[in-house]
Amino acid sequence: MIAVAAIDRSGNLAGFSSYGATTVDIGAPGVSIFSSTSSSNSSYGSFGGTSMATPHVAGVAALLRSLYPGASISELRTRVLSTAVPLASLNGRVATGGMVNAGEAMDVAADGILELAVAAPTLRGGEPGTLAIRVSDLAPVTGATVTAGFTGQPTTAFLDNGLAPDTSAADGVYTATLTAPEEGATVTLEVTASAPGKGNAQQDFELPLLIPPANDDFADRVALGPGTTTTGGTNRAATAETGEPRQPTVAGGKSVWWSWSPADQLETATISTNGSDFDTTLAVYTGTALSGLTLIAATDDSGGRQSSVTFTPVSGQE
């Protein structure tokens, strides 16, 4: 995928255009573009929009495919993005800082310098994740030696042999499974690569890291003390344990756990997620082990997105 911003004939970013230093790749003309219309076989008009800019880049990609029919998607993308013409209006606003250039994209050649790119899943703290490192010099580079590791951890060899976790042999994508650090909002992956006839490459990639909530697992449930009437938390990055019940059945599988034991015998008790800023489900069980829970009540929505259940608790029972 290549995301395209729109510029005018003076090279200025169009006022209507999206932009983003890490989310939009390159700019292309998208203001007052003369184009055919559907009114007739000879009707034309001038239009503006990123929907006018994007076809310029698609056209360059098509031109490159006609000149280099054996080129991979990676090579086509590299040709388009590595030859962008710098524009002050796009500096810091799109990843390349420039606009598409068809002529340069056709003429660019391998320079012996390795380019690295990392594809990673959403990394969860303390859990293994499969990472893929793409090595290229215009075209994918095979036969490279690639090692990587998170800062402060030992490095691991990344392989391009088609054996799990690698999905395809000799495609220039080197893969390994690493266990993410247990703390932090981000983590740095340090990558080193070398290949015959190429210069060595070393690059750091900062990747987002999700830390599961402290009460993600049943064994780590948060105990609510006597007199507690409210508590808070999040299920962001939470998981479902093996054998964990899913009640109600529409629950999304990202559970967090609390425990409560009434000190006195009560006629009824109500537990609700009123005040939550996201859609919730709620289930109440008795028991002290995940494998031996007994469902007392469960609900999805009880007015809006919040959930509420009322039940008869037993004094001293968790």
pLDDT digits (tens, 9 = 90+) for 64-101: 999 999 888 888 998 999 899 999 999 989 989 999 99
Fold of the 115-210 domain: Immunoglobulin-like (2.60.40)
Please give the pLDDT value at position 301. 78
Q: Do domains 4-107 and 115-210 have the same CATH topology?
A: no
- The H or E element that residue 126 is part of is none
Measure the CA–CA gap between 242 and 214, rounded to whole angstroms.
17
What is the CATH code of the structural domain delimited by 4-107?
3.40.50.200
Please give the pLDDT value at position 98. 94
Distances (CA, A) of 311 to 247, 286, 300, 308, 317: 16, 12, 16, 10, 13
Q: By three-state DSSP, how is residue 295 classified?
A: strand
User: Residue 36 is which amino acid?
Assistant: S
The ranges assigned to domains in the chain are: 4-107, 115-210, 213-318
Measure the CA–CA gap between 35 and 256, rounded to whole angstroms.
55
Please give the pLDDT value at position 4. 98
196-236, pLDDT tens digit by residue? 999 999 999 988 888 888 999 999 999 998 788 899 888 88
Residue with tokens 């750091």: 204
Measure the CA–CA gap between 212 and 280, rounded to whole angstroms.
17
